């Protein structure tokens, strides 16, 4: 694959690339602005520390979503605001661009925490697909997404993250329930990376919007989860 032509300004992006970016933005905007399955549990956190943690994460996610909306509008995406508004006020999965991952219900605080654990890893891995991509504002958004929001989940900081955010709760939890939740949610997150070799994947790679295929970043995600699973004394399920 040839190196993509970098576009810093919206006016330099050709129509074909712009159309593909709009398709990606529709999925991202729907995902970022969705209240998600976790909202009902954010306010039932068992400790003041975890309540603060959840609230801070929610605020950061809102900032990230608004930044992406500005990027989409600058590029001239006609339905950006409508998609953001529809997702912002929807508590159901019935949105045309919402990933299937965001339609599953979350039934407990432990399940909410398992979801966050896997979500943080998945977000970082997926953001890597845009590194070196052809539209610099989108690449920059993805990079800041990783650095500012989820840097604590990459390997260099993982022990700190698992022990501080996840492990204390998991140690006190029923291991059979925890393993069952992992077996339920890991395949859902793995599927959310998309099919390898699909027409969409080829389109984004050929245009230079993405620089890594779905299988590459999916394997990164699974390796990070595997390391956590080993540290937590659990069993890695099939993805």
Is 239 part of any domain?
Answer: no
pLDDT digits (tens, 9 = 90+) for 113-160: 888 888 888 888 988 999 989 998 999 888 887 776 555 544 444 444
Is 22 part of any domain?
Answer: yes
pLDDT digits (tens, 9 = 90+) for 3-16: 556 666 677 889 99
pLDDT digits (tens, 9 = 90+) for 81-100: 999 888 877 766 677 777 88
Contact predicate 23/101, CB 8 Å: no
Contact predicate 128/212, CB 8 Å: yes
pLDDT digits (tens, 9 = 90+) for 177-220: 889 999 999 999 999 999 999 999 999 999 999 999 999 999 99
State residue 234's pLDDT score: 87
- pLDDT band, very low/low/confident/very high, at 61 (cuts 50, 70, 90): confident
Is 155 part of any domain?
Answer: yes
Is 237 part of any domain?
Answer: no
Is 6 part of any domain?
Answer: no
- In total, how many domains does the chain have? 1
Q: What is the CATH number of the domain that holds 104?
A: 1.20.1260.10
Is 163 part of any domain?
Answer: yes
The pTM assigned to this predicted structure is 0.83
Is 7 part of any domain?
Answer: no
For residue 96, give Cα distances in angstroms to 36, 62, 81, 138. 15, 21, 15, 22
Kind and range of the H or E element at 216?
Answer: helix 214-232
State the helix-helix crossing angle for 109-127 and 214-232, rounded to 10 degrees. Answer: 140
Distance (Å, rounded) from C-alpha 28 to C-alpha 137? Answer: 14
Q: Return the residue matching tokens 């998991």.
A: 170
Which range of residues forms the domain containing residue 193? 14-232
Angle 236-195-1 from CA coordinates, rounded to 5°? 115
Whether the predicted pLDDT of 239 surpasses 60: yes
């Amino acid at each position: 694959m040839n190196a993509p032509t970098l576009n810093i300004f919206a006016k330099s992006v050709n129509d074909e690339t712009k159309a593909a970016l709009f398709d990606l933005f529709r999925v991202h905007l729907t995902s970022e602005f969705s209240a998600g399955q976790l909202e009902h549990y954010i306010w039932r956190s068992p400790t003041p520390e975890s309540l603060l943690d959840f609230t801070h994460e929610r605020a950061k996610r809102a900032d990230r979503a608004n930044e992406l909306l500005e990027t989409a509008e600058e590029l001239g995406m006609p339905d950006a605001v409508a998609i953001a508004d529809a997702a912002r006020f929807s508590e159901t999965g019935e949105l045309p661009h919402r990933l299937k991952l965001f339609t599953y219900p979350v039934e407990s605080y432990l399940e909410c925490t398992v979801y966050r654990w896997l979500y943080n890893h998945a977000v970082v891995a997926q953001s890597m697909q845009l590194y070196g991509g052809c539209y610099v504002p989108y690449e920059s958004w993805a990079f800041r997404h990783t650095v500012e929001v989820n840097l604590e989940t990459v390997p260099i900081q993982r022990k700190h993250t698992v022990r501080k955010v996840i492990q204390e709760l998991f140690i006190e939890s029923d291991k059979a329930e925890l393993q069952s939740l992992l077996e339920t949610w890991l395949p859902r997150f793995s599927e959310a990376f998309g099919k390898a070799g699909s027409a969409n994947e080829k389109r984004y790679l050929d245009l230079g919007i993405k620089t890594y295929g779905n299988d590459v970043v999916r394997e990164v995600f699974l390796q990070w989860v595997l390391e956590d699973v080993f540290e937590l004394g659990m069993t890695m399920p099939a993805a």
